[in-house]
Homo-oligomer: A and B are copies of this chain.
Amino acid sequence: MLKFTTKAEYSLRAMAILAKNYKKTAVSLAKIAREEKISKVYLEQLFSKLKKNHLVTANKGVNGGYILLRSPENVSAADIIEATEGSLEPFYCVSPKGNCCAKKGCLTRKMWIKVHQGIKITLENTKLSDLIK
């Protein structure tokens, strides 16, 4: 029903914690899981995606944890949500390739694209630094 899932919520909250510790310490998922009351293994799955998208890096071992790769001013909510939710496209048809029914004068395609742009712009303009201040 056009809802962001917990993936967006959890990853934003977790990334906000990393932002608060930027240039200080790495933060372990065990700590985040405890503080935010989120399943640690579920967080691992989200952070695997955040890492693949070059938003964070990780240190293994004792006192290890995750670290932001960019400063909180340079990480947007769009970056995070796209990484964990998969995409911001509000309908299956809104892809750069323009597959689906586009050829046959689709009624709604233009509208989905506008909605997509709106969501994207709002989330791109919200940075991690905005969330934590």
Measured CB to CB, the residues of A under 8 A from B are: 1-5, 8-9, 12-13, 16, 77, 85-92, 107-108, 111-112, 114-115, 118-119, 121-123, 126, 131-132
Q: Which residue of the partner chain, among B12, B13, B107, B114, contacts A12 with CB atoms under 8 Å?
A: B107
Closest 8 CB pairs of A and B: A118-B118, A107-B131, A114-B122, A111-B126, A115-B122, A4-B91, A1-B85, A118-B122
B5 touches A1 (CB 8 A): yes
Q: A8 to chain B: which residues have CB within 8 Å?
A: 2, 91
The distance from the CB of A107 to the nearest CB of chain B, in whole angstroms, is 5
How many copies the complex holds: the figure is 2
Main secondary structure of the interface of A (DSSP, over half): helix
Q: Which residue of the partner chain, among B3, B89, B91, B107, contacts A89 with CB atoms under 8 Å?
A: B3
B12 touches A92 (CB 8 A): no
Q: Which residue of the partner chain, among B13, B111, B131, contacts A122 with CB atoms under 8 Å?
A: B111
A88 to chain B: closest residue by CB? B2
Q: A12 to chain B: which residues have CB within 8 Å?
A: 107-108
B107 touches A1 (CB 8 A): no
